[in-house]
Chain A
């Protein structure tokens, strides 16, 4: 079975985003970019399925500027077999990404597509579900455990009150939650090896998919700042404050 893993290049999760002064967006010039953390978990899960003999090949795909190559090389160094980069300088929304991924899924015929549950830049949490809709496949979102058996995959999902398990017919879509696994680090020899693994370059036009954005961002602002707080010296003073707030009688 082939596994398809879409990965996204995003602002590193440790970097505090700075809103541009003109309100047009987030300043991404000269800041550290990395693979979206949920996507690392997706790549890791695919590799584990390959190590178990469930998967035969792992294809990673990214959509974005040329520099997204670095993100794909990281996935290749972790253990993916080959990569596809769909180069575009334009902003692409989850719906456009899902349509491109649908086209790739038609071509590659994967048994499983594993995506992160959300990208930490746009915080949308949509692409996996949209791809599932376009393919008509089952979706196991927010997965904390994935077990492939025969022609189905059993996915344990994190839900608001606890967890739930669903059985999906293959092929299927899985989106990863944080608890699914602990992604491995790429070793230096593997990083070197990854440089010679195949990386195909495509454009959106190659797939004949319209990715024109449907949403316009009118402005981006900093959230309202909280006013500076006070420090109290001891528990008694804290209780005094709680009383003033009416939290305790």
Chain B
């Protein structure tokens, strides 16, 4: 089987989500990559070094500058004429593009796969991760999105793929990029952080979030996450949100501070290796999944923890 992997990048570097997707694709067959964008020569060169990659297709055109699905999907659909599977990271870009490609190919997409079980067979979470379904596709071509935390990352060095330019399918003229606002953060990116410190509604306000959660995270070199309640209350921007509707993370250590543990939140973090919960309510559902629990007032305990570390 010949797979085509969507390379997630920011115009300059290949993002980590791509590496896990390459691993998933290599379990399905030969791995080809697609780098689409404008001025993406450097990205293509990085992509060609990823271990296990056979060929890198580069589509360099203004139409692909912001990865608008309307322009990118026809390009992918065309390349799928000589590939058997389109394999895409479950990022916001991947989730936006892949189903549009699937419909153009008249195939059903398999979303957010956790494992490759064999020919056309995969496992994927349903019902906010409360059940795992094993599904088999009967379509001639596959479109799958890959949950990054479920696969090891391919090595960024060791490959020597050939780079091949592909022609543009052009601007479709139904959508235009206007602007983007990217939240600045010097901390590790949430989906690839080894340690995450997350805060919930119990922090009470944005100031407490900054003064209590962030110093602990910095001490541990950790990424900072939040529950939906904390995001909705405006303590932190919404790209901090961990859960069914936010980011899915699986760090080595996840520290949940003042988070009760609703099923939608657990959906985003319950595959973490070690879960630590600090909560004053000893009956909070978070303690049912926590490996280590500390019952008490976070306003006292967290600063004490930060200081003693």
Binding site for B on A (CB under 8 A): 11, 13, 16-17, 19, 26, 93-95, 98, 117-118, 120-134, 136-139, 141-142, 144, 154, 157-169, 172, 177-179, 213-223, 226-227, 229-232, 234-236, 238-239, 241-242, 245, 247-248
Is the pair A130, B99 in contact by a Cβ cutoff of 8 Å? yes
A110 to chain B: closest CB distance in Å? 16
Q: A218-B121, A226-B270, A232-B294 known; A125 and B99 CB under 8 Å?
A: yes
Is the pair A26, B99 in contact by a Cβ cutoff of 8 Å? no
Closest-by-CB residue of A relative to B302 is: A235
A82 CA to B242 CA in the complex, in Å?
37
Which B residues touch A223, using CB under 8 A?
125, 129-132, 270
Is the pair B96, A141 in contact by a Cβ cutoff of 8 Å? yes
A160 CA to B232 CA in the complex, in Å?
17
A11 to chain B: closest CB distance in Å? 7
B195: Cβ under 8 A from any A Cβ: yes
Which B residues touch A169, using CB under 8 A?
173-175
Is the pair A217, B180 in contact by a Cβ cutoff of 8 Å? no
B301: Cβ under 8 A from any A Cβ: yes
Which A residues touch B139, using CB under 8 A?
214
A144 to chain B: closest CB distance in Å? 8
A158 CA to B228 CA in the complex, in Å?
14
B42: Cβ under 8 A from any A Cβ: no
Is the pair A226, B291 in contact by a Cβ cutoff of 8 Å? yes
A110 CA to B70 CA in the complex, in Å?
19
B304 to chain A: closest CB distance in Å? 5
- Known contacts A133-B100, A172-B174, A242-B253; 8 additional CB pairs below 8 A are A95-B102, A123-B125, A126-B109, A137-B174, A159-B93, A159-B180, A165-B180, A179-B232
Is the pair A239, B293 in contact by a Cβ cutoff of 8 Å? no
Q: A95-B108, A98-B103, A215-B135 known; A162 and B92 CB under 8 Å?
A: no
Is the pair B294, A133 in contact by a Cβ cutoff of 8 Å? no
Q: A16-B130, A129-B100, A165-B179 known; A94 and B292 CB under 8 Å?
A: no
Selected from A129, A165, A216, A247, the residue in CB contact (under 8 A) with B69 is A129
Question: Can you list 17 A-B pairs, Cβ within 8 angstroms, ordered by A?
Answer: A17-B127, A19-B130, A95-B102, A129-B98, A129-B103, A130-B99, A133-B101, A157-B92, A161-B183, A162-B183, A163-B181, A165-B178, A165-B179, A220-B132, A223-B270, A231-B294, A236-B308
Interface residue ranges of B65-121 to A (CB < 8 Å): 66, 68-70, 73, 91-93, 95-104, 106-112, 121
- Secondary structure of the B side of the interface? mixed
Is the pair B135, A218 in contact by a Cβ cutoff of 8 Å? yes
B208: Cβ under 8 A from any A Cβ: no
Selected from B132, B245, B263, the residue in CB contact (under 8 A) with A221 is B132
Which A residues touch B305, using CB under 8 A?
235, 238-239
Is the pair A232, B100 in contact by a Cβ cutoff of 8 Å? no
Which B residues touch A139, using CB under 8 A?
69-70, 96, 100, 175
B239: Cβ under 8 A from any A Cβ: yes
A141 CA to B99 CA in the complex, in Å?
11
Closest-by-CB residue of A relative to B264 is: A13
Q: A160-B247, A164-B180 known; A235 and B301 CB under 8 Å?
A: yes
Which B residues touch A117, using CB under 8 A?
245
A93 CA to B135 CA in the complex, in Å?
13
B187: Cβ under 8 A from any A Cβ: no
A32 CA to B307 CA in the complex, in Å?
47
A25 to chain B: closest CB distance in Å? 8
B152: Cβ under 8 A from any A Cβ: no
Is the pair A120, B244 in contact by a Cβ cutoff of 8 Å? yes
Which A residues touch B176, using CB under 8 A?
166-168
Interface residue ranges of B237-260 to A (CB < 8 Å): 237-239, 244-245, 247, 252-253
A141 CA to B276 CA in the complex, in Å?
34
Which A residues touch B56, using CB under 8 A?
none
Is the pair B100, A123 in contact by a Cβ cutoff of 8 Å? no
A234 CA to B134 CA in the complex, in Å?
43
Interface residue ranges of B129-143 to A (CB < 8 Å): 129-139
